[in-house]
């Protein structure tokens, strides 16, 4: 099987329904969006194509052979140890690569490392109860906007975690199919001091600046991710993205 045939096969399953993508799109504004369980990029594309202002998607997935399921053999036969090249080929074909930072790893680990305030969170990664609990603990406090969870009332682990940790504390703002949306106002978000420290840590890796006011921090948040994106694209030999 060729790479292109395998890409087609991998891209044909494991998706949300058209109505669910439409529902997801209705929560998109712009800013920093996090797509947990990006797989072949369909949820990522739904976000990017609905941006109303500057925005980027951090597309997180382990891309491991263990997560490839029934496609494992096809991926291995091509001599690949990761499904990431298929995602990257899809993003390139859809001409949205400049709006996406592909992050390979478990969302639970990435969330602990990357302290950015998030405008939109989509959780459709591991559906094991313990992993969804961890995603909620690690990511939801960063969200000032909306957090969406897929496979609610479909997969028991996701359902239990959402029932226990989201339903009692956050405002449910909609449901379509197995996708539920909550409004998150950052009530349990990092304090401003912690946020500044976290933001400065991220920015340090790209350029040395310190922020002293909330407005400066907000502005810098986009700038820092933009800088991250520029270096990411330079590393991968892609066209630099433009968020202005
Ligand atoms: C149902 S698919 C996601 C489909 C995708 N959101 C879409 O709409 O096309 C679930 C994905 O979660 C990923 N995944 C599994 N464990 C994960 C983890 N700990 N962190 C992030 N993603 C994970 C899998 O590799 C798989 O690609």
Which band of pLDDT confidence, cut at 50, 70 and 90, is reported for residue 68?
confident
Tens digits of per-residue pLDDT, 178-197?
A: 999 999 986 544 444 555 55
Give the pLDDT confidence score for residue 231 in this predicted structure.
52
The reported pLDDT for the residue numbered 99 is: 86
Residue 15 CB–ligand 1 contact under 6 Å: yes
Domain borders along the chain are 17-189, 192-236
Res. 35: pLDDT tops 70 = yes
Looking at residue 104, its pLDDT comes to 83
- For residue 167, the CA-to-ligand 1 centroid distance in Å is 22
> Is residue 221 within 6 Å of ligand 1 at its C-beta?
no
pLDDT at 214 over 50: yes
Residues 111/138, Cβ–Cβ less than 8 Å? yes
Residue 83: CB atoms within 10 Å: 25
Per residue in 221-234, pLDDT tens?
Answer: 555 555 655 554 45
Ligand 1 proximity of 126 Cβ (cutoff 6 Å):
yes
Q: Which residues of 100-120 are buried (b: 16+ CB within 10 A; e: fewer)?
A: bbbbbebbbebbeebbbbbbb
User: What is the CATH topology of the domain spanning 17-189?
Assistant: Rossmann fold (3.40.50)
Q: Is-above-0.85 flag for pTM?
A: no
Q: What is the dihedral of CA 106, 107, 113, 118, to 10 degrees?
A: 160
Distance CA 231, CA 221 (A): 16
Q: Work out the mean pLDDT of the chain and round it to a whole number.
A: 82
Q: Is the CB of 67 under 6 A from ligand 1?
A: yes
Residue to mutate (ligand 1; options 20, 34, 39, 40; most atoms within 8 A of CB): 39
């Amino acid at each position: 099987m060729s790479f292109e045939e395998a890409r087609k096969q991998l891209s044909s399953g494991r998706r949300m329904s058209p109505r669910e993508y439409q529902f997801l799109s209705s929560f998109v504004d712009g800013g920093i969006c996090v797509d947990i369980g990006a797989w072949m990029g369909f949820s990522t594309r739904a976000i990017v194509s609905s941006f109303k202002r500057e925005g980027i998607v951090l597309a997180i997935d382990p891309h491991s052979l263990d997560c490839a399921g029934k496609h494992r053999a096809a991926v291995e036969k091509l001599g690949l140890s990761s499904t990431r090249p298929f995602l990257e080929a899809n993003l390139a074909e859809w001409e949205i690569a400049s709006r996406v930072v592909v992050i390979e790893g478990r969302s639970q680990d990435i969330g602990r490392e990357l302290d950015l305030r998030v405008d939109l969170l989509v959780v459709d990664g591991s559906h094991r109860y313990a992993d969804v609990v961890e995603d909620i603990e690690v990511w939801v406090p960063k969200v000032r906007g909306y957090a969406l969870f897929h496979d609610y009332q479909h997969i028991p682990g996701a359902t239990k975690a959402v029932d226990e940790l989201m339903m009692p504390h956050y405002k449910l703002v909609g449901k379509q199919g197995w996708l539920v949306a909550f409004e998150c106002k950052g009530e349990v978000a990092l304090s401003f001091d912690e946020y500044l420290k976290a933001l400065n840590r991220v920015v340090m890796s790209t350029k040395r600046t310190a922020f002293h006011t909330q407005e400066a921090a907000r502005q810098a948040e986009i700038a820092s991710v933009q800088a991250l994106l520029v270096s990411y694209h330079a590393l991968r030999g892609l066209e630099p993205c433009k968020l202005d």
